[in-house]
Amino acid sequence: MSWISVICFGICFGIILFCFRRGTDPLSPARIFGFIWSLSVGLTDLKFSAFQREWNLESWILLLMGVSAFLVGTFIAYILNLKRELVPINVMRKLLREEEVLEERLFRFIFISVVIYSITYVTSFLIKGWLPIFTVGKMSRVEFNIYGFGIFINSVSFIMFFTILYFFLVQGNKGKKIFLAFTSSLVMGSYFLLLQRFQVIMAGVICVTFLYYISRAIRLKTALIPVLIATAFFYWIMSLRLGNLLATYTHRVSKMKFPIDYAFLTEPYMYVVMNLENLAHCVNASEFYTYGYFTFDFVAAITGLKYWILEYFNLSRTPYLISYYNTYTAFWWFYSDFGVIGLALIPWLLGFSIGSLYYKMRFRPTIKRVVAYGVMVFVMIISFFNFPITYLWFEYNLLALYLILKWTMIPKKRIA
């Protein structure tokens, strides 16, 4: 094990250990982002696969520049809020539970969302004639999407969250709760047949963040088993997408250095490290900038220019791949679009914005701010993999969360 891996795993252990300290918030931005990237870099530097290469100084500098810029942004937000007295977590939970919601309106929004999702799902199936889970190896799950209309199938994220919100903020109404639990379970179950993960992970992260700040249901001791179950489940989905005998095949193809008896570790290991490997390779091979095309992907998607621009300028979303893993971390898009300036400035702005949002939530907690921060927790967690803010499905969920909360939560000034 290299000294870099030792240091990174030591940081991860230190963050976990520090979270047991009384009064510490394990969901603070610097802890989450620091843990995710320390773990990712530590695993990558183990170099267990023949696909992996030794990085040159430029790759290390650019990677650490992005990570450091984000952490500096959160630190500046911390300094600016140093003198403000934060609301303790236990007091936050009491205040959040006192917020009121327009029960009937929230129920209707959830029901309408389920209906729209169901119509989109059935229509897509009737047009395509197949479901991704039953065509593994023959059809890509991406081909199931119908451009424009298919965006509504991503409603699963906010349907799941608002069902949880209804259960926690609405007193009584047992019949409606049973109905929502049943319909939301059908939505989630049917969505798994599409072999998609991002939207479910997003919903899960937002729900966990919400439950942590509004109740004592989420603790470090009780969260371990659900996390392991969720990890195993999404690994199972990934294995279905790639076909049978995945573990043995990927172990051999990736030329792993550990014995084939541990082949089941190949896919999750490669799933993390190849993002960083692709980034380290691409920053050296890149010869031109794309000036915001990837960072603001959702704008091109809304205007209908996304694929036209891609073809006209002969751009590639997956350039300079060194394996069949075609993701690059969030930092690649910033560097691809704006070079070193983008790699330094955009993570800094993200870190500062997320840090500022966190301290606003801790200084004056509201359900809306907790949900907004939960979305940012999701962004930080998968930053080693991708940058979800660029995608139209993410913006759609963000808009839905904002509007439904705006139209259903009762402002405190109206609470008698």
**271-281 pLDDT, tens digit each:** 899 999 999 98
Is 18 part of a structural domain of the chain? yes
Q: Say whether pLDDT at 415 is over 70.
A: no
Q: Say whether pLDDT at 213 is over 70.
A: yes
CA pseudo-torsion sign 86, 388, 64, 43? positive
pLDDT per residue as tens digits for the range 374-411: 999 999 999 998 899 888 889 999 999 999 999 999 87
Is 132 part of a structural domain of the chain? no
Look at 321 and 176; give whichever has higher pLDDT.
176
Distance (Å, whole) CA 387 – CA 275: 12
Closest by CA position to 8, among listed 359, 375, 384, 385: 384
Contact yes or no for 253/24 (Cβ under 8 A): no
Is 225 part of a structural domain of the chain? no
Is 324 part of a structural domain of the chain? yes
pLDDT of residue 258: 80
What pTM, to 2 d.p., does this model score? 0.89
pLDDT per residue as tens digits for the range 214-240: 988 766 555 555 566 656 655 655 555
Closest by CA position to 122, among listed 197, 194, 185: 194
> What are the E-state strand segments in 140-294?
none
Report helix, strand or coil for 409: strand
Contact yes or no for 367/97 (Cβ under 8 A): no
Is 126 part of a structural domain of the chain? no
Average pLDDT score over residue span 363-371 = 95
Look at 264 and 335; give whichever has higher pLDDT.
335
What DSSP designation does 141 have?
G
Q: Which of 166-175, 282-291, 359-368, 382-391 has the highest mean pLDDT?
A: 359-368
**Residues across the chain:** 416
- Secondary structure (DSSP) of 319-377: TT-SSS-----HHHHHHHHHHHHHHHHHHHHHHHHHHHHHHHHHHS--HHHHHHHHHHH
pLDDT per residue as tens digits for the range 289-320: 787 788 877 777 777 777 778 777 777 777 77
pLDDT of residue 230: 59
C-alpha distances (whole Å) from 237 to each of 159, 177, 194, 205 are: 21, 29, 10, 18
Is 21 part of a structural domain of the chain? yes
Distance (Å, whole) CA 291 – CA 322: 24
Question: What is the CA angle 198-235-9, rounded to 5?
Answer: 90
Domain that residue 276 falls in: 3-94+261-364
Average pLDDT of the chain, as a whole number? 85
Q: Say whether pLDDT at 114 is over 90.
A: yes
Report helix, strand or coil for 101: strand
Number of domains making up the chain:
1
SS3 content of the chain, % helix, strand, coil (to 5): 70, 0, 30
Average pLDDT score over residue span 64-74 = 96
Residue 244 pLDDT grade (very low, low, confident, very high; cuts 50, 70, 90): very low
Contact yes or no for 383/33 (Cβ under 8 A): yes
Closest by CA position to 272, among listed 345, 324, 328: 328
pLDDT of residue 380: 96
Residue 19 pLDDT grade (very low, low, confident, very high; cuts 50, 70, 90): confident
Closest by CA position to 53, among listed 405, 322, 356: 322
pLDDT of residue 416: 38
Average pLDDT score over residue span 347-365 = 96
Residue 253 pLDDT grade (very low, low, confident, very high; cuts 50, 70, 90): confident
Is 158 part of a structural domain of the chain? no
Contact yes or no for 136/239 (Cβ under 8 A): no
CA atoms within 13 A on the CB side of 156: 24
pLDDT of residue 260: 78
Is 187 part of a structural domain of the chain? no
Distance (Å, whole) CA 49 – CA 27: 32
Burial class (CB in 10 A: 0-12, 13-18, 19+), 286: middle
pLDDT per residue as tens digits for the range 144-154: 677 667 789 88
Q: Which of 165-169, 249-253, 372-376 has the lowest mean pLDDT?
A: 249-253
